[in-house]
Structure 1
Amino acid sequence: MGDWTRRIPFKVDISGIIQIMGSALYSRPDAAVRELVQNSHDAVMRRRQTELGYQGRIDIQQFPDEGIIEFRDDGYGLSADDAEQYLGTLGIGLTGLLKGEHPSSALPKGDQQDLIGMFGIGLFSAFMLAERMIVESRRVDCDEAIRWDAEGGTDIELSSWKREHPGTTVRLVLKPHFRRFAEVDESIENVLKEYTDFLTIPIHLNGSAARVNVIHATWFDPTPEPEAIELELASYFDETPLDVIPVQINRPAISGALYVSPQRTPGFADEAVVTATLRRMVISRRLRGLLPDWASFLRGVLELKECSPTASREDLVRDENFAAAALALESHLFDHLEQIAEQEPARLQAILSWHRYTFAGSALTETRLRSLLRRAYQFPTSQGLLTFDQILERSDANPIFELEADQVVWYNSDRRQEGWINSLFADHEAPCVHALRSFEESLLASMVADSGERAELRFASPGSPGFAAEILHLDDMQDASPEWADFFGDTEAIVRVAAFDENQPVMAFLNERHELMKTFEELKKGGVVPAGFQRLIDRHFEQGEQASNEVLLNRNHRLVARAMEQKTNSPLASVLRLLVVNALRTAGASLPSTALTQQQGDLDWIADCLWGQKS
């Protein structure tokens, strides 16, 4: 057999395509209702462009006894040629041709921006619901009407018809398991409300004088009233906005409104979602990825004129237009928040208080958001609630003690020490920030880093440079001798000696990181930490310094001074160790079991000495 070449055309199995649309392209069978309303909408909009006084309407009628549903419009209509060329051809839609969005488009284009259709597949979605579809139509400039009759996967019968007025009627003979769409009003009404609320053409169901769709929404007006927007958003979303953000962006063209939801989202994992519309047809009520990650508390409705829908019209294509819209919206949101920070700071404070953790967590990676929070986010401090800019203003370094820094920001990360730290900073101009949650500590560190090389963040602890001298007014602090350090070893605290108020023998300072590590170690011993979680914990503690709790012994105190003049096996040494353990436990430290055992031994030793017994 010799070599050969043959050119063959692509073949399409219509019934197979329809099955694919039903099972894969559209996630819901009621999408067919949306697609047919969309076709009627485009027909009405075409006629509006040619007749100044024409308004148009769409009617949907249910026939429960026959299992039929009809979609009627008085729009532009179809001629016999239109029906033959476009209704039965997958992938070539008349609207897409009019908009110039199909390669074969040769039709003259007017202003067709109000038309929704594009792909030429929407009509066939009706076969998800129907076993038969009949289209009766008359074009505005034709005397003859046509009738188009098809069943899924069969030939189409096209014939002349009699119809008095222009427009189109699409009749669906429903499959048995979809007859509810002909029998239950709510089955159609719910779909219409979900997708068509904002279409500018009235839609009526079963001859009702009242329209199903809202039609007008204040947030789409060029110059909307903020109070009207707030009332409509509250009604539409059934919650009271904390703040309303009107959106009117020219390039790219975006209109609508966003609002700050009163619903708190746990953690930072939830995404901001909006209702997105194209030419007022709802594409998605939970569109993700359009608003920035840090704005998970936002909801709203946006008309995205330059974005493109996916073929199923259940989402938007993630292309350069979508990216441009996302960028423009983020800039608009920042402009809004920065404006109210300047003009209505109390309003911004209320928003930040409600969504505090979301803002703080997100600002760790968003520089512009962090810049906004510097002047608006309030940290708890030893001087009350202060913004970072207020903290920095009061944290000028003392030139007597500092040569390397212009500002020193002190912080405490342990709630158990809050009162104790407040008392230490009571007489100081500089406040101590209580960064009691890990993300607030990280946020504080990032803000300090943003302030330049001459600003430093330091933990409120004797081991931090300058703390002993400037905050505690100690100029003679020293590490305990190796012998005494070993004597206090079971407490796992760093022990130092200094001179301070003679009435206080010991001061204890906790390190939250050390305490957290001890808690996880105990859980690990008990075997209650999952292996994957344990790996995360290990990596967390490997990345930072292995800090410890700290204890200051007061050499000005009689008992401390006498004890440290003796050997560590003296009764006074045991008393001193009891004071150290008590100071740590009072502060809230988690002591190891060996320290508690040693405590009992010290008590026994002291008791024996007091009773005059030999050790």
Structure 2
Amino acid sequence: MHVRVHRVWSRQIPFRVDIAGIIEIMGSSLYSRLDTPIRELIQNSYDAILRRRARDLQFRGRIDIHQDAAAGTLTFTDDGVGLTAEEAEQYLGTLGIGMTGILKGRRSTAVKSTIVGDGEGLVGQFGIGLFSAFMLADFLKVESRSEDSDEGVCWEAGPGTEIRLSSSDRTQFGTSVTLHLKPQFRMWCESLESLEGAIREFADFLPVPIHVNDRPARVNVINAPWFEATPEPESLELALADYFNEAPLDVIPIRMEHPLTIAGALYISPQRTPGFADESTVAVTVRRMVISRRVRDLLPAWGSFFRGILELEDGTPVASREDLVRDDNFRALRRTLEEHLYQHLEDLADQPGSRLESIVTWHRYHFAGAALSEVRLRFLLRRVYRFQTSKGPLLLDEILQQSAADPLYENDLESVVWYNADRRQERYLDELFSRITVPCVHAVRSFEESLLAEMLVDEDGGVELRQATPSARNFNRIVLGMTDPEDLAAGWQDYFSSTDARVMIASLASGPPVVAFLNDRYELARTFEELRREGDIPTGFQRLIDAHFRQAPTGRNEVVLNRTHRLVQNALRSGVSSPLASVLRVLVMNALTAAGAVRSAGAAAVQAEDLDWIADALRGPGA
């Protein structure tokens, strides 16, 4: 029998890296935009200028970009600190070891000590920005001269793994980076408009002038009111309107040093957001370089109508510098901004004439929906959000003041708030509630019914919300002045079956012979049933509808006959075969229709017969 013996072994092997492949990844896969290399190379120039400023406080610096359509090149030149031959060899050709990153603490103290200056105010940190140029170019040439060197240095790299380093006769301090563009990206050396657009997109606010093709006028604006320590309000508003192409409803300047450093301005957009599809976004700069114009999650979810631009010194860019890292700093920035926004809105609510009330009215839909899950926002809205009621627009506290519970019937409550969620019944209920001092809240707009309920829950007891319908506790007594309600006799119930409503009789203090109330869930169920019969509802959706109504039965529309009215008295006395019975049934159907009920084909046919019968009775025998 042969026994196999497994040999135990181990060995250490080095990582093998395809340098050309890594350069391709860094240059074409890390970034999502073709204009990213423009930003990266401007950023490198800016950092070099800042390092020279650290040596010479009088130095200002300048960045020049030159297009050469004939040669197919794009050249970035700065008069910053420059590179020595040793620095060019060590940092330009090594992925992940950028000088700025070292100065900002991403390498040991010993390594950092070999570089003059510090990382204060610098933007870059990853040592990969230069390689983004390979998105657009197949060959790079860097020429530089450092203040600490007697000669310049030339660094050249193509798509392979070899880098050529040589001396240069450059006499000016600073650096030039020349991109030999790929044929498909020649627009960057041919189109001035495209190049200037990319500069403004990312570097509009860098405090260094950027010039193109030796033109005397700089491309970037540099200064903006929102970066000023104490901006003039009107100038700030006009600048935001110009930059974002819309007129702010309100402007919120922000400048703080603690607990985090934030500068800039937010504003409330006039654009109404449909639903909650739109997220709150803001433009963000880090040391004046634009990271993104649509950073998400930084502003609170309840405020998607906020827009603006913020300088976030404490923000941490991702490696591609197209967004911010969602780290502890980001979460702290979010909390700080949310507190600032709440404080601003609460201060607005205290002002006479409340500008906030106008803003809330404009963005009513969004405020109402967002407040359902935000307690602090609900307490803010109760000061400025006006519900439509039978007594006109009222704040919640005004509603509560006018909704004191009747001690004869509600000795366990302080307030009873009546509401209506069906727009079709507004006018009818306004008429009913006009006879009493208590208002009916028309919570007919999106989220208002839920918002009203949540606001009353915040009252912490003593308040009850009731729908304005006869089946609600004490509605008949308090609102209708109704006494002795009871169901009709069986014969009359059958007679009114075509109305699809529950018909009762009661004594009303005053009013018409018939009063009708809709059950909105019943009407909704009827609509879905008609769609089902016509085959317009997908099977899966129908199952969801059926499950919903099984869990919460719909009930029916309700009709009350006023037994104190002579017509009702005479009709009931005459019986279901009399013309007055037909008159009463027509009145019931008309009351339901006036309240907003949908009349079925069967009900319409019965009403036509009733009208014929009434016409014959009025014509009299032999007519």
Distance 2:529 2:352 in 1: 48
Aligned to 1:463: 471
Q: Tell me the distance in 1 between the aligned counterparts of 2:302 and 2:433.
A: 34
Q: For 2:51, what is the secondary structure of its paired residue?
A: helix
Q: Quickly say closer, same or farther: Cα 1:227–1:307, change in 2 above 3 A.
A: same
- Whole-angstrom CA distance in 1 between matches of 2:92 and 2:354: 59
- In 2, the alpha carbon distance for the partners of 1:547 and 1:387 equals 32
Secondary structure of 1:118's partner? coil
Unmatched tracts of structure 1, length 5 or more? none
> Equivalent of 1:18, from 23, 29, 36?
23
Partner of 2:356: 348
Kindly tell me: are residues 531 and 73 of structure 1, through their superposed partners in 2, closer, same or farther at Cα, counting changes over 3 Å? farther
Residues of 2 paired with 1:213 and 1:362: CA distance?
A: 39
> Does structure 1 retain, via aligned residues, the 8 Å contact 2:480–2:509?
no
> 151, 169, 178: which is aligned to 2:176?
169
Paired residue for 1:62, among 67, 70, 76?
67
Residue in 2 that maps onto 1:490:
498
Question: Is the Cα contact below 8 Å between 2:28 and 2:132 reproduced in 1?
Answer: no
Q: Give the CA deviation at 1:6.
A: 2.6
How far did 1:225 drift? 2.4
Secondary structure at 1:475 match in 2 = strand
- Amino acid of the structure 2 residue aligned with 1:58: I
Report the Cα distance in structure 1 between the residues aligned to 2:140 and 2:539, rounded to whole angstroms: 59
2:51 is the counterpart of 1:43? no
In 1, distance between residues paired with 2:132 and 2:304? Answer: 34
* Structure 1 residues 103 and 4, CA gap change in structure 2 (3 angstroms): farther
Counterpart Cα distance in 2 of 1:54 and 1:498: 92
- TM-aligned CA distance change 1:132 to 1:502, over 3 Å: closer
1:280-291 pair list within 5 angstroms: 280-291=288-299
Q: Which amino acid counterpart does residue 218 of structure 1 have in structure 2? A: P
Rounded to whole Å, the distance in 2 between the matches of 1:480 and 1:97 is 89
How many correspondences in the alignment? 614
What is the rounded CA distance, in whole Å, between the counterparts of 1:395 and 1:176 in structure 2?
Answer: 76
Choose 172-181 or 217-226, whichever is displaced more.
217-226
* 1:429 pairs with one of 430, 434, 437: 437
- 1:320-331 pair list within 5 angstroms: 320-331=328-339
Report if the CA contact (8 A) 2:503-2:559 is conserved: yes
Task: Tell me by how many angstroms 1:427 deviates.
Answer: 3.5
2:201 counterpart of 1:194: yes
Structure 1 205/535 Cα, relative in aligned 2: closer, same or farther at 3 Å?
farther
Contact 2:225 2:236 in 1 (8 A): yes
CA RMSD of aligned residues (A): 2.2
Q: Choose the corresponding residue for 2:602, options 583, 594, 600.
A: 594
Contact 1:98 1:105 in 2 (8 A): no
Q: Is the 8 A contact 1:137 1:166 kept in 2?
A: yes
Cα offsets for 1:42-87 (capped at 9, x unmatched) = 0000111111111111111111111111111111111111111110
TM (norm. structure 1) is: 0.95
1:263 aligns with 271
Is the deviation greater in 335-344 or in 244-253?
244-253
Q: What one-letter code is carried by the residue in structure 1 that aligns with 2:97?
A: I
Q: How does 1:22-421 map to 2 (within 5 A)?
A: 22-102=27-107, 106-108=111-113, 111-249=118-256, 250-421=258-429
Instruction: State the distance in 2 between where 1:531 and 1:436 align.
Output: 30
**What does residue 508 of structure 2 align with?**
500
Counterpart-to-counterpart distance in 2, 1:492 and 1:65: 84
Question: Cα offset for 1:189?
Answer: 0.6
TM-score after normalising by structure 2: 0.94
Q: Deviations over 1:462-493 (max 9, x none)?
A: 22112211122223223334443343223222
CA distance in 2, matches of 1:580, 1:74: 89
Q: Is the 8 A contact 1:425 1:431 kept in 2?
A: yes
Contact 2:103 2:118 in 1 (8 A): no
Which residue matches 2:558? Answer: 550
- Does residue 528 of structure 1 match 2:533? no
Distance in 2 between residues matched to 1:126 and 1:281, nearest whole Å:
18
Provide, for residues 294-343 of structure 1, a one-character-per-residue CA deviation record: whole Å limited to 9, x for no partner: 21111110112222111111111112211111121111111111110012
For the residues of structure 1 that align with 2:242 and 2:78, how far apart are their CA atoms?
30
Name the aligned partner's letter for residue 51 of structure 1.
Answer: D
How far did 1:116 drift? 0.6
**d(CA) in 2 for partners of 1:24, 1:530:** 43
For the residue of structure 2 that corresponds to 1:285, the secondary structure is: strand
| Paired AA for residue 177 in structure 1 | Q
Cα distance per residue 1:239-282 (max 9 Å; x no partner):
11110011223222222111111111212221111111111111
